[in-house]
A and B are shown apart, each in its own frame.
Chain A
Amino acid sequence: GDSVTQMEGPVTLSEEAFLTINCTYTATGYPSLFWYVQYPGEGLQLLLKATKADDKGSNKGFEATYRKETTSFHLEKGSVQVSDSAVYFCALRANTGNQFYFGTGTSLTVIP
């Protein structure tokens, strides 16, 4: 069945460091891919998305490219800030039906 596997955390980085959180998926066909973020004490919110192969989603300095050949959707940011400290979830929406599959989440802490 469809599934998402993401890098386990927790991840701790210094401010201005480069961030990569790996995400790979298993799905039939062409799913849509998402990164959600959960800031401390808040609900999940959409960070970025990509709906077809080679699309790049971007928001708030974060980017992720939909790579069908490697079934990946890695999240990157060139220079993290303390305010980026949160839990990040990779997710896919199957292209048949409306079922979503989430990864287990990666906790990021950015220290000044």
Chain B
Amino acid sequence: GAGVSQSPSNKVTEKGKDVELRCDPISGHTALYWYRQSLGQGLEFLIYFQGNSAPDKSGLPSDRFSAERTGGSVSTLTIQRTQQEDSAVYLCASSLTSGGFEQFFGPGTRLTVL
């Protein structure tokens, strides 16, 4: 497929557990973004990767959240010691850094922390 893919599509976990969410961007897209969409809310920026540059982590809500991007492609968002307020849909998007600049979004991972 040519689009952004994310896995898992749904994740239910218990409070205090760690979770890993995966994003496969569109091939050739150098920019990758993670957002959080809580129920009835807009998109909350979490982190942004651009090529080999240091990521922009300014949106991460706490030090329990981290992300990495290996080989400039696949990214993993890790949430440690999950809390109930972490329940949300986590969206990944990728884009080129020239041309139209628009972001292409994945379907999201719905995280539920019990």
Chain A interface (Cβ < 8 Å from any Cβ of B) = 32, 34, 36, 42-46, 49, 51, 89, 93, 97-105
Contact = CB atoms under 8 A, between A and B. Distances in A.
B105 A98 contact: no
A103 B42 contact: yes
Interface string B26-64: 000001010100000111010010100000100000000
| Interface majority SS (helix, strand, loop, mixed), chain B | strand
B107 interface: yes
B44 to A, nearest CB: 9
Interface of B: 31, 33, 35, 41-43, 45, 48, 50, 56, 91, 93, 95, 97, 100-108
10 contacts: A36-B105, A43-B108, A46-B102, A49-B102, A98-B48, A98-B95, A99-B45, A100-B33, A103-B42, A105-B42
Those 6 A-B pairs whose CB atoms lie nearest each other, nearest first: A104-B42, A102-B43, A44-B105, A43-B107, A43-B105, A46-B102
Contacts, number: 48
A100 B45 contact: yes
A38 B56 CA distance: 26
B102 A34 contact: yes
A89 B100 contact: no
A44 B42 contact: no
A44 B91 contact: yes
Given A43-B106, A43-B107, A100-B33, A89 B43 contact: yes
B97 A98 contact: yes
Contact of A99 (B56, B100, B102, B104): B56
Most chain A CB inside 10 Å of its own CB: which residue of B93, B101, B104, B108: B101
A105 B48 CA distance: 21
A51 B101 contact: yes
- Of A44, A89, A93, A104, most buried by chain B (CB within 10 Å of CB) is A44
Contacts of A44: 43, 91, 93, 105
A82 B51 CA distance: 41
A104 B97 CA distance: 24
